[in-house]
Amino acid sequence: MTTDWEALYQSGEAGWDKGAAAPALLAFLAESPLKGHVLVPGCGRGHDVRAIAAAGADEVIGLDLAPSAFAGAETLANTHFILGDLFALPAEFASAFDAVFEHTCFCAIPRERRDDYVQAVAKALKPGGLLLALFYLTPRDNPDLTLGPPFNASVEELDARFAEHFTLLRSETPTVAFPGRENREVLRLYQRRGD
Ligand SMILES: C[S@@+](CC[C@H](N)C(=O)[O-])C[C@H]1O[C@@H](n2cnc3c(N)ncnc32)[C@H](O)[C@@H]1O
C-alpha cells in the first residue's frame, strides 16, 4: 500500500518530526561539515537541511514529495526546498551533488523500492561524492520486515544494497540520538565510486 505522506502531515501525524536536526548529524557536522552542493531526500520540515547549510555547505536542497512537509519552513540563503519524488529526480540532478544526507527517508521506503533508493542516490552524487546516512534501523520492536512505514532494516541489508555503488568509509552507533532512538540507529559515511 502506498503511504499518503501529505495526508499524514495535514492531519498532524508527523510523529517522526522532532522539531530539530538529528543530534548525530549535529555532532558529525561539528567535526566535519559537509561541503559543496548537498541533497537531503525526504527532508520533511527541513531541520537537517538548515543545519547542514548553517555548517557551511554552499547549497543544500531539501526534497520531499509532500507539499505540507516544508510549507512555510524557514529558509536560509543557501537552502532550497523542492517538491519532488526521489524516484523521478529532474535530469539536472544527475551527478550534481557533492553529498547526500539520509535521515529517516530510507526507513520510509518499502523493501521492494530500496534498490531504487540506492540507484537514485548514486545517480544524484558526483563520482567520489559522499553519502552521510543516519539510518533508523529498528523503528519497530516487531522484527517483521514487512511492517511499516517505518520499515526496519539491518546492517547486513545495508551492506548488500549499497555495495554496488558505494565504498563504506565509516560506520558507528551514534553516541547521541533523539530520546527513544538510542542504539536503534547507525551513522554511515559512504563514498560514491566512479563507474
Ligand atoms: C519519516 S519522514 C522523515 C522526514 C524527515 N527526514 C525527518 O526526519 O523529519 C519521511 C519523509 O520522506 C518523504 N518521502 C517519502 N517517499 C519519498 C519519495 N519517494 N521522494 C521524496 N520524499 C519522500 C515523506 O513525505 C516524508 O516527509
Residue 166 forms part of a structural domain: yes
Residue 165 forms part of a structural domain: yes
62 lines ligand 1 (CB under 6 A): no
126: Cα within 13 Å, side-chain hemisphere: 10
Residue 26 forms part of a structural domain: no
Domain extent at residue 131: 110-195
Q: Can you tell me the distance from the alpha carbon of 2 to that of 4, in angstroms, rounded to the nearest whole number?
A: 6
82 lines ligand 1 (CB under 6 A): no
pLDDT for the residue 1: 67
Choose the residue to mutate in 65, 85, 114, 115 for probing ligand 1, maximizing ligand atoms within 8 Å of C-beta: 65
The residues, any chain, with a CB within 8 Å of residue 32's CB and separated by 6 or more, are none
> Ligand 1 mean position to 69 CA, how many Å?
8
Residue 126 forms part of a structural domain: yes
25 lines ligand 1 (CB under 6 A): no
Q: Can you tell me the distance from the alpha carbon of 22 to that of 135, in angstroms, rounded to the nearest whole number?
A: 11
Sign of CA dihedral 138, 140, 145, 148: negative
Whose CA is closest to atom 12 on ligand 1?
Answer: 42
64 lines ligand 1 (CB under 6 A): yes
Running DSSP on this structure, what letter comes out for residue 165? T
pLDDT for the residue 145: 85
Residue 96 forms part of a structural domain: no
190 lines ligand 1 (CB under 6 A): no
Instruction: Tell me which residue of 123, 140, 137, 134 sits closest to 192, measured CA to CA.
Output: 123
**In degrees rounded to 5, what are phi and psi of residue 155?**
-65, -30
> Ligand 1 mean position to 58 CA, how many Å?
23
CA 142 to the chain's CA centroid: 23
pLDDT for the residue 2: 86
| Grid coordinates belonging to 150 | 517505518
Domain total in the chain: 1
Mean pLDDT by 10 residues, the chain (195 residues): 92 95 98 98 98 98 97 95 97 98 97 97 98 97 90 96 97 98 98 90
CATH number at residue 153: 3.40.50.150
Residue 91 forms part of a structural domain: no
Whose CA is closest to atom 5 on ligand 1?
Answer: 44
157-164, Cβ contacts within 8 angstroms, sequence gap of 24 or more: 157/114, 158/186, 158/188, 161/114, 161/115, 161/118, 162/118, 162/131, 162/190, 164/118
117 lines ligand 1 (CB under 6 A): no
Residue 39 forms part of a structural domain: no
pLDDT for the residue 146: 87
pTM of this structure: 0.97
Residue 70 forms part of a structural domain: no
49 lines ligand 1 (CB under 6 A): no
